[in-house]
Amino acid sequence: MRASDVPDVVDAVVRDQRIANEANHCIDARVDRDTLTDSFRRRPTPTWVARDTTRLRGHLTAATLTRPSGHVSAWISPDAVSFDDPATLGALYAAAGAEWLAGGVDDHQAWVYDRPDAREPWVELGFALRFRRGSLDLSMHDVADWPPDYDLRRGTLGDLDLSMHFNRLLDDEEHAGPTFARPEPLSREETEETLEEPETIFVVVEQHGTPVAQCIAFPLLPVRGAHPRTLHLSAVVVEPSYRGRGVATAMLDRILAEARQSGFEFADVTWRTANLGAAAFWSAYGVTPTYVRLQRRIDRD
């Protein structure tokens, strides 16, 4: 990419964000052109562009991130790619991917709009679905009746062991099939830090004093496509023997009704696509998919 390509690349990102918003109002259309222009001018990693004689056909770049395990991945954010057609994406990825591989980066991850035209060209290139993000418009969300015999309370730091228990339940379930994930478990210190944050909403549901579910929610940090007043839902877990009774639905209804009163407009959640129970639950709960994260790990043996 030359400096003269930057305005066209920024136009492509702005256009794609507008198209995404028109297809799904849960995706925020706003893009700050100046900030984006600046970030493309200062990117420490290269950006590839495809052009014909008259115009930009696409662009591709990635940030390289080192995980705690030492493994380096190339991360392609929604701003980092545009393409007119799958062949253009293929040509861009051939050039960019070769350079990433030459630098030892064989794990390639892409967050893209969850629409067939944005997602499927990556699948054709060998990328696989890993995570899906979705949003709820709180102004359009109905609230179910609270189930009798259950109580909801705010969790405290005294519930740290309980929260670790629920987090382990989720990790163990995702470690098993069909997900077969190897989540890096949240440490006690990290969980404690989250619970201590004044903006964290930590909720526990009990039946006759026995804890049966938790949710940890917090304001979503600014991220492309998310509306400014968005509550991020995480660690939604119900004890296995209490599932299928509407506990998670009732718990989230309460949290979201209160969140709406305190000024939140949207809620946002991310789940592993292979966690079929979670996928079915979020779909039944009315969450609209917004983005997917795809991954390709290139085996060079």
Ligand X SMILES: CC(C)(COP(=O)(O)OP(=O)(O)OC[C@H]1O[C@@H](n2cnc3c(N)ncnc32)[C@H](O)[C@@H]1OP(=O)(O)O)[C@@H](O)C(=O)NCCC(=O)NCCS
- Nearest-angstrom CA–CA distance, 135 and 289: 6
Strand partners, 58: 50, 83
Is residue 173 near ligand X by the rule CB under 6 A?
yes
Residue 269 CB, nearest distance to ligand X (Å)?
6
Residues 58-77 that bind ligand X (CB under 6 A): none
3-state secondary structure (DSSP) of residue 13: helix
Q: What would the x/- binding string for ligand X be over residues 128 to 167, using CB under 6 A?
A: ----------------------------------------
Is residue 291 near ligand X by the rule CB under 6 A?
no
Q: Which of 157, 176, 284, 298 binds ligand X (CB under 6 A)?
A: 284
Is residue 254 near ligand X by the rule CB under 6 A?
no
DSSP strand pairing (150-154 vs 107-113): unpaired
Is residue 212 near ligand X by the rule CB under 6 A?
no
Is residue 100 near ligand X by the rule CB under 6 A?
no
For ligand X, the closer of residues 16 and 159 by Cβ is: 159
Is residue 280 near ligand X by the rule CB under 6 A?
yes
**Residue 24: CB partners within 8 Å, gap ≥ 6?**
288, 290
Is residue 249 near ligand X by the rule CB under 6 A?
yes
Is residue 292 near ligand X by the rule CB under 6 A?
no
Burial of 177 (0-12, 13-18, 19+ CB in 10 A): exposed
**Residue 249: CB partners within 8 Å, gap ≥ 6?**
144, 285
Residue 283 CB, nearest distance to ligand X (Å)?
8
Is residue 80 near ligand X by the rule CB under 6 A?
no
> How many residues sit close enough to ligand X to count as binding (CB under 6 A)?
19
- Nearest-angstrom CA–CA distance, 62 and 110: 9
For ligand X, the closer of residues 90 and 147 by Cβ is: 147
End-to-end CA distance of the chain: 32
Residue 255 CB, nearest distance to ligand X (Å)?
13
Residue 89 CB, nearest distance to ligand X (Å)?
29
The residue ranges of DSSP E strands in the chain, in sequence order, are: 47-51, 56-61, 63-66, 72-76, 81-83, 107-113, 128-137, 150-154, 201-207, 210-219, 230-238, 266-272, 288-297
For ligand X, the closer of residues 46 and 277 by Cβ is: 277
- Nearest-angstrom CA–CA distance, 122 and 118: 8
Q: What would the x/- binding string for ligand X be over residues 12 to 51, using CB under 6 A?
A: ----------------------------------------
Report yes or no: 268 and 233 within 8 Å, Cβ to Cβ: yes
Is residue 246 near ligand X by the rule CB under 6 A?
yes
Q: Which of 25, 115, 141, 243 binds ligand X (CB under 6 A)?
A: 243
Residue 142 CB, nearest distance to ligand X (Å)?
13
User: φ, ψ for residue 273 (rounded to 5)?
Assistant: -65, -30
Is residue 278 near ligand X by the rule CB under 6 A?
yes
- Nearest-angstrom CA–CA distance, 19 and 77: 17
| Cα angle, residue 135 at apex, residues 134 and 141 outer, rounded to 5° | 135
Contact residues for ligand X (CB under 6 A)?
Answer: 170, 173, 236-238, 243-249, 271, 275, 277-278, 280-281, 284
